[in-house]
Structure 1
Amino acid sequence: MIELNHVSKTFQVGKKKIEALKDVSLTIRKGEIFGVIGFSGAGKSTLIRCINLLERPTSGHVIVDDKDILKLSKRDLLKLRRKIGMIFQGYNLLETASVYENIAIPLKLEGVAKDEIERRTEKYLDIVGLTDRRDAYPSQLSGGQKQRVAIARALAHEPEVLLSDEATSALDPNTTESILELLLKINAELGITIFLITHELNVIQRVCDRVAVMEKGQIVEQGSVVDIFARPKEAMTQQFIRNESRLSIPESIRRDLLKSGRLVNLTFLGESAKDPFLATVAKKFDVLPSIIAGGIDQLKDQSIGNLLVHLKGDRSETEAAIQYLKQQEILVEEADY
């Protein structure tokens, strides 16, 4: 569907060159929700804007439906952009236009017939749940409602791809959840491919099929959401997940706990999250397990648990307990941070 092949982007700021993207390669499959996550300044916004050429790469290729869009004429690029909708953190609504007009006006400027404008506007207002607010103005809407208008406006062009540039970062947790539910609905019912960037771990967990992790303009790791969260390979990915999951503890506490046993990270998926494995460890071995931190998160298709656990006991018993946990298909890692 979309391929980024060795894409780089350099900005000239005065006499200084800034490498926003460095040799980035990604493939986004038709019908999936693909997320890119990273800390501020990682290059995420530049990356997403290269997909519809709001930013033109310095080098590399951007392939959409087997076409290198860097080679398209202005006219053909304009046609392509109509098939790539985009939503932003700031909504970008016309304050003097009603909800209905905010959706209809871009279609009118595009030359869509009047009856078709009405059909599409009503259809997508219904999909985003704002039929009863069609005559309201942006100043009368909540942040979540404004974002729903922006989503309806993007959908009204009936795109094949929807780009989301930090679309939930200005929203409270409950509103964020409702917008994520809407994106899942759009993906499932309309079959639209969604490419999103975010610095919010819960957004990736909740809706994405696959994810790429960015740092300093580069992709440092990518794969299925389950694999990346359960088995992060790169130090930056491990740091990001650990910081967001709050599984780190003060060094003084860590030292004290290690005096009487082992400190381990346990990661478990799906059905294993429901098993009382720590209670079983306490019965089978001369080990007293204590949960220091952690919890269970719901991914798009399954649950994943992360626990920081202290295993109190001598070396041989704690080692036997760890081997038992591994046999239960639980990922066990020494908490060496």
Structure 2
Amino acid sequence: MIKLENVTKVFPSKKGKDVTALDDVSISVNKGEIHGVIGYSGAGKSTLIRCVNLLESPSKGKVWIDGTDLTKLSKEKLRQTRQKVGMIFQHFNLLRTASVYDNIAIPLKLLGVPKAEVKERVMKYLDIVDLSEKKDAYPSQLSGGQKQRVAIARALSQEPQVLLSDEATSALDPETTNSILELLLKINAELGITILLITHEMNVIQKICDYVYVIENGNLIEQGSTIELFTKPKQPTTKKFLNTISQRKLSDRLIDELNLEGKVIRLTFLGENTGQPLLSKVTQQFYVEPNILTANIIELKNGIVGNLVVHLIGSEHQVEHSLSFLKEQGVEVEELGVN
């Protein structure tokens, strides 16, 4: 449904040194899936998502929506194709002097949608976002979450095949963020809309994404299913993002001290293994003493991941056998403090 093929975006600089915001980036989003792009400020996330509907034209590469290469279209054909792509933003972009109803209706009228159909669509999508009773209210009378719901209804009213989300929850408190994410899941499930979002918040990826891309300095440095990245992160930046939502990080000093006797191990459990008493079995079978340092369970859209950081005390032989046993049970094992 969405495909970026070797996209590079370079911004000219008056100081003489051009800025490469995206460098040979390729992504592919299948119909009906939710993909997320995560990175720190300045990583290139916003440029990437603006290239999807050609709000920014790539310096190199191709952009495909539903099999059509947007970079080859005339202005008129591009305008028509963009109607397949809805977009929501961090700051809502509502008309302050227009009611909720008119904020959704005005773009439809400008597109030439018949009056009767305009009313039908406005009420249909206000109902989907649970704001029917606010149709006569003005933006100043709404909370941040309600404003974002209006923006989502406005995007949906054009009945797109794709929805782009540009940091749509960044200005919202955690509870409101969760409600908006639940709404996006509902839209994806009930309307079949493909969603591509950008964020700097790992909890957004955790809650709704099927697949994730990690971007840094304009480069895609890691990608995979959400479960893969949560269980087997490779890049330091990915691990830093994971540390923001799970108690994964211990100080190097503490790890070095503990490694003087036994080993400090990160264990990652997936699916049914999260409920198995594997540490108890290790204690009984291999005579090692596990001391749990940190532990948590993370619920993803498509599964459950458990994380334990454990200090295993015992002879080197016993510890190695216990680690082999855990690996055989499908547990990801990472020794900490090993250079």
TM-score, structure 1 length as denominator? 0.97
Provide the secondary structure at the position in 2 that maps to 1:40.
Answer: coil
Matches within 5 A, 1:158-197: 158-197=159-198
Instruction: State how far apart, in whole Å, the 2-side matches of 1:16 and 1:298 are.
Output: 44
Shift of 1:243: 4.8
Provide the secondary structure at the position in 2 that maps to 1:195.
Answer: strand
Which segment drifts farther, 140-149 or 282-291?
Answer: 282-291
- Equivalent position of 2:141 in the other structure: 140
Provide the secondary structure at the position in 2 that maps to 1:13.
Answer: coil
Unaligned runs of 5+ in 2: none
Shift of 1:8: 0.2
Instruction: State how far apart, in whole Å, the 2-side matches of 1:82 and 1:334 are.
Output: 51
Say what the alpha-carbon RMSD is for the aligned residues. Answer: 1.3
- Equivalent position of 2:120 in the other structure: 119
Provide the secondary structure at the position in 1 that maps to 2:158.
Answer: coil
1:103-151 residue CA offsets vs partner (Å, 9 max, x unmatched): 1111111111111010000000000011111111111111111111100
Instruction: State how far apart, in whole Å, the 1-side matches of 2:12 and 2:44 are.
Output: 15
- Equivalent position of 2:205 in the other structure: 204
Contact 2:247–2:296 (8 Å) recurs in 1: no
Shift of 1:314: 2.1
- Equivalent position of 1:11 in the other structure: 11
Unaligned runs of 5+ in 1: none
Provide the secondary structure at the position in 2 that maps to 1:106.
Answer: helix
Does residue 272 (structure 1) correspond to residue 273 (structure 2)? The answer is: yes
Shift of 1:244: 4.3
- Equivalent position of 2:300 in the other structure: 299
Change (3 A) 1:332 1:197: same
Does residue 82 (structure 1) correspond to residue 47 (structure 2)? The answer is: no
TM-score, structure 2 length as denominator? 0.96
Instruction: State how far apart, in whole Å, the 2-side matches of 1:276 and 1:139 are.
Output: 53
Instruction: State how far apart, in whole Å, the 2-side matches of 1:309 and 1:146 are.
Output: 45
- Equivalent position of 1:2 in the other structure: 2
Instruction: State how far apart, in whole Å, the 2-side matches of 1:180 and 1:243 are.
Output: 18
Shift of 1:197: 0.7
Matches within 5 A, 1:224-303: 224-303=225-304
Contact 2:247–2:294 (8 Å) recurs in 1: yes
- Equivalent position of 2:29 in the other structure: 28
- Equivalent position of 2:102 in the other structure: 101
Instruction: State how far apart, in whole Å, the 2-side matches of 1:44 and 1:114 are.
Output: 38
Shift of 1:240: 3.0
1:137-166 residue CA offsets vs partner (Å, 9 max, x unmatched): 111111111111100000000000000001
- Equivalent position of 1:129 in the other structure: 130
Matched AA of 1:41: G
Contact 2:202–2:244 (8 Å) recurs in 1: no
Shift of 1:266: 0.7
Instruction: State how far apart, in whole Å, the 1-side matches of 2:98 and 2:42 are.
Output: 34
Shift of 1:49: 0.1
Does residue 334 (structure 1) correspond to residue 332 (structure 2)? The answer is: no
Shift of 1:294: 3.1
Instruction: State how far apart, in whole Å, the 2-side matches of 1:13 and 1:245 are.
Output: 40
Matched AA of 2:153: A
Contact 2:256–2:337 (8 Å) recurs in 1: no
Instruction: State how far apart, in whole Å, the 2-side matches of 1:297 and 1:134 are.
Output: 38
Shift of 1:246: 3.5
Shift of 1:46: 0.1
Provide the secondary structure at the position in 2 that maps to 1:145.
Answer: helix
Instruction: State how far apart, in whole Å, the 2-side matches of 1:193 and 1:251 are.
Output: 42
Shift of 1:234: 3.0
Provide the secondary structure at the position in 2 that maps to 1:245.
Answer: coil
- Equivalent position of 1:69 in the other structure: 70
